[in-house]
């Protein structure tokens, strides 16, 4: 993954975030908007279904998504805003549980698993990666709570701004901020390129791994 490709991914992500905010405010029940807004969750379920149950799981995920869009677009699911909130909270809760499940004695943390694909880990690095994983657990838990609080106390436009714009910006800020803070806190750690970290986080392998 080149640096320019990383920049394009970030720009595309920010564009999607802004577009999602606009669609939620002005086209919340339009079928095309529903498909775009539920795409991240739909793709995740599709991938999980295909991975666990093959083409049958993928087909069921596609059918479930189609039914969901039909029901919401025909006004048979109540206020669609609640489903958007449920999706945002649900994703954060699932991520929180996933990261937290790897923080067990004797097990490499999730961040440690990612880091190990970039370079070998020392004992200090394993301990540090566990702390970073715990930070992400706290972030996802806090975001889920803030999401519910803002939805209940402020306008839906304020919640949409949080979910679609501030959430991805916070993720990028935490991800990049930790990368650079790591070497201020632990200058003895082996250096890694940000593009390699992003590649691994997206399910690939670092360039370094290909040459080992």
Instruction: Say if residues 125 and 111 touch (Cβ distance below 8 Å).
Output: no
In which band, very low, low, confident or very high, does the pLDDT at 60 lie, cut at 50, 70 and 90?
confident
Q: What average pLDDT does the segment 92-110 reach?
A: 87
What's the confidence (pLDDT) of residue 27? 74
Arithmetic mean of pLDDT over the chain: 76
Is the confidence at residue 92, as pLDDT, over 80? yes
Q: What percent of the chain has pLDDT over 70?
A: 67
Which tens digit of pLDDT belongs to each residue from 165-194? 899 889 989 988 887 888 777 777 766 665
CA 165 to chain centre: 13
pTM above 0.85, yes or no: no
Which tens digit of pLDDT belongs to each residue from 16-25? 777 777 877 7
Q: What average pLDDT does the segment 79-108 reach?
A: 84
């Amino acid at each position: 993954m080149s640096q320019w490709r990383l920049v394009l991914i970030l720009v595309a992500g920010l564009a999607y975030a802004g577009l999602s905010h606009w669609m939620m405010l002005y086209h919340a029940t339009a079928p095309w908007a529903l498909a775009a807004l539920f795409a991240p969750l739909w793709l995740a379920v599709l991938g999980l279904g295909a991975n666990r149950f093959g083409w049958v799981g993928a087909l069921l995920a596609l059918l479930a998504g189609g039914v969901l869009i039909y029901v919401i677009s025909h006004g048979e699911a109540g206020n669609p805003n609640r489903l958007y909130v449920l999706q945002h909270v649900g994703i954060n809760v699932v991520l929180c549980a996933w990261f937290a499940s790897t923080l067990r004695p004797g097990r490499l943390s999730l961040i440690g698993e990612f880091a190990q694909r970039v370079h070998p880990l020392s004992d200090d690095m394993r301990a540090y990666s566990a702390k970073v994983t715990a930070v992400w657990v706290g972030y996802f838990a806090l975001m889920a709570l803030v999401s519910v609080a803002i939805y209940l106390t402020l306008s839906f436009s304020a919640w949409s701004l949080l979910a679609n714009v501030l959430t991805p910006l916070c993720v990028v800020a935490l991800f990049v901020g930790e990368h650079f803070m790591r070497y201020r806190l632990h200058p003895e750690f082996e250096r890694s390129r940000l593009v390699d970290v992003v590649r691994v986080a997206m399910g690939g392998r670092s360039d370094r791994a290909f040459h080992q």
